[in-house]
Amino acid sequence: MAKKEKSVATVEERPESAALTTPVAEPEIDLEIETPLASGLPAAFAALGLGEPLLRAIAESGFTQPTPIQSEAIPFFLTGRDLIGQAQTGTGKTAAFALPLAQLIDPDKRKPQAIVLLPTRELCLQVSAETRHLSKFCRIRVVAVYGGQPIDRQFRALEAGAHIVVGTPGRVLDHIRRGTLDLSDIQYVALDEADEMLQMGFIEDVEEILKSAPKQRQTALFSATMPPRIAALANETMKNPYHIKIQPKERTVARITQTYYEVPNSRKQEALLRILDMEEPKSAIIFCKTKKDVDDLGEALQNKGFNAETLHGDMNQTLRDRVMGRFRSGKAEILVATDVAARGLDIDQVTHVFNFDLPWDTESYIHRIGRTGRAGRSGDAITLVTPRDRHQIKMLEKQIKAPIGQAQVPTPADIARRHRERFQKEVEAALELGDFDREALIVEAITEKTDWTTGEIAAAAMNLLWKSRRLTDFDLDAARETDARAEVGMVRIFLQIGRFDNVRPGDIVGAIANEAGLSGKSVGAIEIFDRSSYVEVPERDASRVISALNNTKLRGRKVRADVARPKDDR
């Protein structure tokens, strides 16, 4: 077949603070909205030819400016011509085809009119969710079909009617062969991440699907690169396509050490707690995909004694300002946040970034880890992945042109060894300074009165310091157990507030940290009963904590705090 002439447009990619590129978290469909709606509809999107229903959805998401690929592709797609969009992952390609598709589809015609093909289940879920959100005011039904989900559920979804089908090539082809997906009314086809579909061996399935679709259709192909096989596919299946090429932005991750840990989804929280205890970050941001994950993880960290705060779209501005103030000042060492809530954060001293979930796209990953390694400093980016995420890690490495090393989740023995090493270095540094004349007098007094050697006295002193700092093995499998009395060096405090007041361990840790200025890691065991609670704090801080708690409220109730009696006396 003779080669067809293609029109080519090249666009320099520009950073957009409010560009429509944010991926939608699985399993939630709605995007988190961080700022109030601006008055009116986004004029820059309206200028592309989009109608009011779509503009309302865009405005609801807080976006004001299209990305370069959107600016070029949307108006051209609306003219009815085929197009090729060559752009990196994370540049807003989903909206570049989802928005015009939503405008062109006839909602009164309850048959598949558009099909979108993607290489992976994860991308399928992301794109279908974002398409649903963008078309929420258009009366359009989007159905996702992919491997790994019971096929009978997809039978029912397709039978109920679908305007846009988003799927992986293998599962789409399966439905076509079973007769559960009819392509006879397809008017629009979008191929996303075409080069990845080629690399994963799906291109023959794609070709068969295209042969099953009507020849009189509009086709859009998006790909980061244009290998010969993809160019040949475009030449054979598209009609004089308009070629848009977006020049990628420079990406700098040179000062960031990137590591990933592969763990089952059910063990992620446990693994993260171990890694945090091993790393002991001075200032860290942990990114989660959903608001629920942020709340759950934040509470788990607080329960384990970490001085953590949470940040997501359901929080009012006053609370957000308070959280950010504590994090910036160092009073909170860890911030657990969603991507949307963390927009605009600019804090140079962040030492670690943790991805509790692997981001959907490269741009989000780079945006996340770019929170560390700033102002000439080095930083660490640590990502938790499930076994099914291995391919995405390899894709990330290729796209950012930097290695992401694999590591093993530390054992309690590893953590204890690391703590001892750090403790030893601190002692050696103190010896170098030599400012311990008063302590030397104590050692001298003990040696004069007893037979203990200076080495034994030093070991005993270090043991006391070790215990006072609670540098013990991190127990992840069992809840803290409390004795009738507090641990050595700790005081047990009674609080006249309990489970019936909906109080949680995190509330108690937060109140002590905020009101008494005590680090969350210094707080000991916590017990919560129906009408009372107990918490252990270092003996030297007990009076300050009791005084502070007696002047504050928990869950809207004034707290009464006092030194606790032994359990037997209650």
Kindly report the CA angle at 383 between 134 and 67, in degrees rounded to 5? 30
Kindly report the CA angle at 134 between 155 and 31, in degrees rounded to 5? 95
- C-alpha distances (whole Å) from 288 to each of 28, 330, 336 are 12, 21, 7
CATH 3.30.70.330, the chain: domain bounds: 490-569
Q: Please report, as a single letter, which amino acid is at residue 559.
A: V
User: Are residues 332 and 326 in contact, defined by beta-carbon separation less than 8 angstroms?
Assistant: yes
Of 379, 411, 144, 185, residue with least CA distance to 284: 379
Instruction: Tell me the C-alpha distance between 191 and 483, whole Å.
Output: 62
Of 471, 452, 450, residue with least CA distance to 460: 452
DSSP output for 96-148: HHHHHHHHHS-TTS-S--EEEE-SSHHHHHHHHHHHHHHTTTTT--EEEE-TT
**Structure tokens of 331?**
């009073």
Q: Please report, as a single letter, which amino acid is at residue 10.
A: T
pLDDT of residue 34: 36
Of 290, 262, 267, 271, residue with least CA distance to 388: 262
User: Whole-angstrom distance between the N-terminal and C-terminal Cα of the chain?
Assistant: 90
pLDDT of residue 477: 34
Instruction: Tell me the C-alpha distance between 145 and 118, whole Å.
Output: 11
pLDDT of residue 500: 76
Percent of the chain past pLDDT 90, that is, above it, reads: 37
Of 272, 257, 250, residue with least CA distance to 363: 250
Instruction: Tell me the C-alpha distance between 272 and 410, whole Å.
Output: 10
**Is CATH 3.30.70.100 correct for 7-247?**
no
- C-alpha distances (whole Å) from 218 to each of 79, 186, 368 are 10, 9, 36
User: Are residues 216 and 82 in contact, defined by beta-carbon separation less than 8 angstroms?
Assistant: no
Instruction: Tell me the C-alpha distance between 276 and 354, whole Å.
Output: 9
CATH 3.40.50.300, the chain: domain bounds: 7-247, 256-410
How much is the pTM?
A: 0.50
Quote the DSSP letter at residue 4.
P
In the chain, which stretches have pLDDT less than 50?
1-18, 21-39, 470-485, 567-570
Instruction: Tell me the C-alpha distance between 381 and 365, whole Å.
Output: 10
Instruction: Tell me the C-alpha distance between 149 and 399, whole Å.
Output: 29
The tens digit of pLDDT for each residue in 275-287 reads 998 888 999 999 9
Please tell me the class of the 256-410 domain: alpha beta
Residue indicated by tokens 């992986």: 168
Classify 412 as helix, strand or coil: helix
Instruction: Tell me the C-alpha distance between 117 and 119, whole Å.
Output: 7
Residue indicated by tokens 């008017």: 187
pLDDT of residue 199: 79
Which pairs with CB-CB distance under 8 Å and at least 24 residues apart come from 517-523? 517/331, 517/544, 518/544, 518/545, 519/307, 520/302, 520/305, 520/306, 520/307, 520/308, 520/333, 521/305, 521/306, 521/307, 521/470, 522/305, 522/470, 523/305
Please tell me the class of the 490-569 domain: alpha beta
pLDDT of residue 14: 41
The tens digit of pLDDT for each residue in 233-246 reads 999 999 999 999 98
User: Are residues 407 and 259 in contact, defined by beta-carbon separation less than 8 angstroms?
Assistant: yes
pLDDT of residue 118: 94
pLDDT of residue 306: 87
User: Are residues 461 and 452 in contact, defined by beta-carbon separation less than 8 angstroms?
Assistant: no
